[in-house]
């Protein structure tokens, strides 16, 4: 008989699943939460009520970086370990930031959609004139590992100047990275591309709001791969429809996945992706193996490598 029981209702990498199955019985039935030793989640939530019902629970594993879907306060109160995979998807998300920047700057998605509707009446239509990335200014809101990957690509690939807003990083560290530490208002005013990469907290909810968007250049592009609530979606819609900024792209939304109910999706100067930042074969494999390993370490009373609690 396998010593541990895990609640897992979402798919993970096949090799990670095989490892998990070697040591654990896996259930997809949330009604069995009272007898599970661990929970592994991707997009699902772990609530206080779930934690209270899980009498045998020892660990919650987050398949990813952001753990705002877990009631951390409740986990702490009940003495539950929370582990995550902070290193596993950083390359994939960093690359997506640049992909979205290029898409919006060159109207790639819009060109395709117009073509499907027979709206492109000539080659190189004037209304699809875009911007080069070369020698522009790239602003990162949050200077963590994901932002640094995007910044490195921007600097080395496009010779861009990088500005960074992050209250938790020193000027000296920014100098070592070859980026300039600035306050948020100066970044919003100066950057041609603004990339958001911060966790969702009380302090970052609607960090990018109407007043911040009004500071941006009319030619500027906003990219959000962090969490939906960091950007005020109503304010962003107004900024885009009134052409206060050139374009925006978001991989994250308050309500996910985004549907036609979200009026941002009706705009030609906006592109939405359904939270695919970490959705590469490489990142999925690494996130899967990491979260399984971390969960098993806790269940064996060993010290995990990536612990939230």
For residue 181, the surrounding DSSP H or E stretch is strand 180-181
Cβ contact 242:217 at 8 Å? no
**Among candidate residues 15, 64, 101, 50, the one with its CA nearest the CA of residue 276:** 64
For residue 6, the surrounding DSSP H or E stretch is strand 4-7
Which residue is catalytic, options 113, 161, 210, 256? 256
For residue 164, the surrounding DSSP H or E stretch is strand 161-165
Cβ contact 97:105 at 8 Å? no
Which residue is catalytic, options 227, 233, 244, 294? 227
Q: How far apart are CA 259 and CA 133, in angstroms?
A: 30
3-class DSSP assignment, residue 307: strand
Could you list the beta-strand ranges (E) of 193-285.
193-196, 221-224, 247-250, 270-272
Structure tokens at 255: 């309500």
Which residue is catalytic, options 63, 148, 244, 275? 275
Pairing of strands 81-83, 38-41: unpaired
| Residue entry with tokens 């962003």 | 236
Catalytic residue at 256? yes
Catalytic residue at 300? no
Q: Which residues are catalytic?
A: 227, 256, 275
């Amino acid at each position: 008989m396998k010593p541990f029981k895990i609640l897992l209702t979402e798919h993970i990498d096949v090799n990670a699943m095989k490892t998990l199955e070697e040591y654990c019985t896996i259930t997809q039935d949330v009604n069995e939460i009272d007898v599970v030793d661990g929970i592994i989640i991707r997009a699902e939530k772990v609530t206080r009520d779930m934690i209270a019902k899980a009498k045998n629970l020892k660990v919650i594993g987050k398949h990813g970086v952001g753990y705002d879907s877990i009631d951390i306060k409740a986990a702490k109160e009940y003495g539950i370990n929370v582990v995550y995979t902070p290193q596993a998807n950083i390359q994939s998300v960093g690359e997506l930031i640049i992909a979205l920047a290029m898409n919006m700057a060159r109207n790639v998605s819009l060109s395709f959609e117009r073509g499907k509707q027979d709206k492109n009446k000539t080659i190189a239509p004037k209304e699809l004139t875009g911007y080069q990335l070369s020698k522009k200014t790239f602003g990162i809101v949050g200077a963590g590992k994901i932002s640094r990957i995007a910044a490195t690509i921007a600097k080395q690939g496009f010779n861009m100047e990088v500005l960074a807003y992050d209250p938790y990083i020193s000027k000296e560290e920014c100098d070592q990275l070859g980026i300039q530490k600035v306050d948020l208002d100066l970044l919003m005013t100066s950057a041609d591309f603004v990339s958001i990469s911060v966790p969702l907290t009380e302090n970052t909810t609607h960090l990018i709001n109407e007043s911040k968007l009004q500071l941006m250049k009319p030619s500027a592009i906003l990219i959000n791969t962090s969490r939906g609530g960091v950007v005020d979606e109503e304010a962003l819609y107004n900024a885009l429809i009134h052409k206060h900024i050139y374009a925006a792209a978001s991989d994250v939304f308050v309500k996910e996945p985004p549907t036609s109910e979200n009026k941002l999706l009706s705009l030609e100067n906006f592109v939405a992706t359904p939270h695919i930042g970490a959705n590469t074969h490489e990142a999925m494999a690494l996130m899967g193996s990491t979260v399984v390993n971390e969960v098993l370490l806790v269940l064996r009373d060993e010290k995990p490598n990536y612990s939230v609690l």
